[in-house]
Amino acid sequence: MPSICIYGAGAIGGYLGAKLATTQADVSLIARGPHLAAIRDKGLTLIEEGQTHNATITATDNPAELGVQDYVIVTLKAHSLPAVVKPMQHLLGPKTAVVFAVNGMPWWYFHGLEDPYGERRLESVDPEGGIWEGIGPQRAIGCVVYPATEIAEPGVVMHRSGNRFSLGEPNGERSERVAAFASLMNEAGLKAPVRPRIRDEIWIKLWGNASFNPISALTGATLAQIANDPQTRALVATIMAECQAVGESLGARFAVDIDKRIAGAEAVGEHRTSMLQDLDAGRPMEIDALVGAIQELGVLVDLPTPSLDTVLALVKQRARLAGCYD
């Protein structure tokens, strides 16, 4: 029976926990606060397609209670990763794989790539290489998250849409460990395609996050409002073009064009981006992983990103003044 610990049982982590609890896996959660208390008291409840399901799952805020796992699924925000490297050691054995279901440019991006950039570290998402050294890129499995979920109340996760979690090894291989994990996800009723080029899919999602998110935080606008205004739509397209140039210089392939990517965001409608929601709630904002890392990569490949640079400077200032960015 494979053991799986979900580190960060918020909306996405809770959704994964409830789904994987229906499989043969031994599932546990790392959670905190009222959410943890509710899961311990009443179990984890998932509301999906009008149905309510409750699962009794081991939940704790202390990884030392759980021991070594076969898989750890990290569902935290990128800026939270450095702080969990030390407590996560209790979960890591020689063969433990860590699935990073985290938005933004991954800290392991250059692992498994050839020179001139192979094994390079990204300072913007892994300051001083703490994650690289503490967890190890050899453990990493990439994951692009598509479902929309939310915590309705402590201990209760509501699923809104989507059930795909694209997976991929940094070196592109269909390894035994990623194939076995994908099979468990499928058994749980989730779509988990294994991609030979997971970075391409990371870039496509990041494309939208790097443009729409900071603009929404600066203006308070929804995705539809940004896309329907000619000036902000043009700015999004310019930032996306800069991002695409950087990505392609690193070997990424963009399967859709800019207009189609903007249309996809527009179709989501009056959605407030996660960065805007974090600003409104006074929470730390995902600026470095979603925007700053692309600036760092642009410098690396000697490609200018002037529009992204301007928006990045503005959103950092906005976040600092709100106490949402150090």
Please report, for the chain, the start and end positions of each structural domain, with discontinuous segments joined by +: 3-196, 199-321
CA angle, 9 then 12 then 211, to 5°: 125
C-alpha 138/C-alpha 75 separation (Å) is 19
Q: Which amino acid is at 282?
A: G
Active site residue 260: no
Length of the chain: 326
Q: Which CATH class is domain 3-196?
A: alpha beta
Model's pTM, two decimal places? 0.95
User: What does the alpha-carbon distance between residue 53 and residue 279 come to, in Å, rounded to a whole number?
Assistant: 32
Q: How far is the C-alpha of 222 from the C-alpha of 271, rounded, in Å?
A: 5
Catalytic residue (choose from 42, 77, 86, 205): 205
Superfamily of domain 199-321: N-(1-d-carboxylethyl)-l-norvaline Dehydrogenase; domain 2 (1.10.1040.10)
pLDDT tens-digit profile, the chain (326 residues): 899 999 999 999 999 999 999 999 999 999 999 999 999 999 999 999 989 999 999 999 999 999 999 999 999 999 999 999 999 999 999 999 999 999 999 999 999 898 788 889 999 999 989 999 999 999 999 999 999 898 999 999 999 889 999 999 999 999 999 999 999 999 999 999 999 999 999 999 999 999 999 999 999 999 999 999 999 999 999 999 999 999 999 999 999 999 999 999 998 888 889 999 999 999 999 999 999 999 999 999 999 999 999 999 999 999 999 999 98
pLDDT for 326 equals: 87
Q: Residue 117: exposed, middle, or buried by beta-carbon count in 10 A (0-12, 13-18, 19+)?
A: middle
Best CA proximity match to 55, nearest among 86, 10, 90, 20: 20
